[in-house]
Every structure is written in structure tokens, then in C-alpha cells.
Amino acid sequence: MKRIVFATNNAHKLSEVKAVLGDGYELVTLREVGITEDIPETGATLDENASIKARYVFERTGLDCFADDTGLEVEALGGAPGVHSARYATDGHDFAANNAKLLRELEGKENRRARFRTVISLIRNGVEEQVEGIVEGRIATTMTGSEGFGYDPLFVPEGYDRTFAEMSAEEKNAISHRGRAVKKLVALLHDIEDEHRKIEEMERTACMYGPPFPFDK
């Protein structure tokens, strides 16, 4: 089983990603590689933050790793809270305060369209690539449900009449932004592995038979 570092100590994120990633990889947390400090998230976009976190881990461990950043983008608020989703109301990850502020900001607004977007930055063998997952939906007028975390009690995905917090983990992972991004991550990892296998096979063939056109000197 291949080991890969996931740049998070968030138990909710970890369980969601594990469920989608499957048994082919062993997820290693930041604590397990000795990183206990908060990784700075100074980027102006989700893409930048995901890259900053992945590079932080790679530079300190040299291990294959990936990091994600997720934001809720509300149309009537010009894309806010966006990159500031986790710290929308306070400096910490106060889910209740964030949800309460979002409801206040949307008071009296008819347009409640929103989308969740997750960006994952993967560094493998020193090479960085990014994938993203998006789910469209709307913001409910009241919080409902007890599953999940973050804005899940307010977000109703398109085509559904329930919030993420009213869904089981399996239901949510099948359609969620993070689930979609992780599926793309898995496909990317498999593509990289296939490419490495091709290169290794070419190298083995070259070793067995030598250069295809040897020159006599």
C-alpha cells in the first residue's frame, strides 16, 4: 500500500477523503510526519492556498503529499465567503458563527444560489498538479441536519431538497465538491502510476537489449 501525506489534521476532512480514496493508499496525517504547527494560508485564492500547504509539507518532509482548500461561493455576496470560508465570522473555525453570519448577510435576498469548490494540490516525485471539484446549490433559510460540518446545515445541493447535513456520509461523498475533487485526484494518481510503469518498462527493455542502433567506432 502506498503512503501519501494529506496536509490536514481535520478529522472530518480525513474521513471524507479516506472514504473516496479507497484502499490503494494509506493516508498519513500531518501529526504523523511531525508537523504540528498551523500551516499559513496566505493565498488570495483557493488554488494558491492548496499549493502553499502542499509545498509546505513537501519542503519539510520530501514525501508525496496533497493539500486541499475549500470555499463556499455565494452568488449574491459576490463569491463570498470564498477563500475566507473557514474564518468568515471569527479568526478560528467557528462553524456556528460562520453559519449565523451567512444567514444575516442573505437576509432579504431572493438569490440564494451558491456553490462549494474544492481545489486539491498534489505533489508527487516533486511535481505539482491541481484538480478541483464543484457542486452547485443554494443556501437554505434555516439550518437543518446534524451530519457533516461547516456550512453543511445550510447548503442544499442542486437537484435535492435536503442539506448536506441531512445526508449520510455515503450520500454526501457521492455528490460533494470534495468527493468529486478526490475522485479526480485518484484518477490523476493512477495516470501517474501508469506513466511510471511505461517508463520503467522502457528502461528494462533498454537494459536487456541495449541501444536500438549501436554504432561501431
Q: Which residues are catalytic?
A: 69
For the chain, report the end-to-end CA distance as a whole number of angstroms.
48
Whether 189 and 177 have beta carbons less than 8 Å apart is answered as no
What is the four-CA torsion angle of 35, 7, 152, 143, rounded to 10 degrees? 20
Q: How far apart are CA 6 and CA 24, in angstroms?
A: 14
Whether 93 and 87 have beta carbons less than 8 Å apart is answered as yes
**Torsion region of 158: left, alpha or beta (phi above 0 gives left; psi -120 to 50 gives alpha):** beta
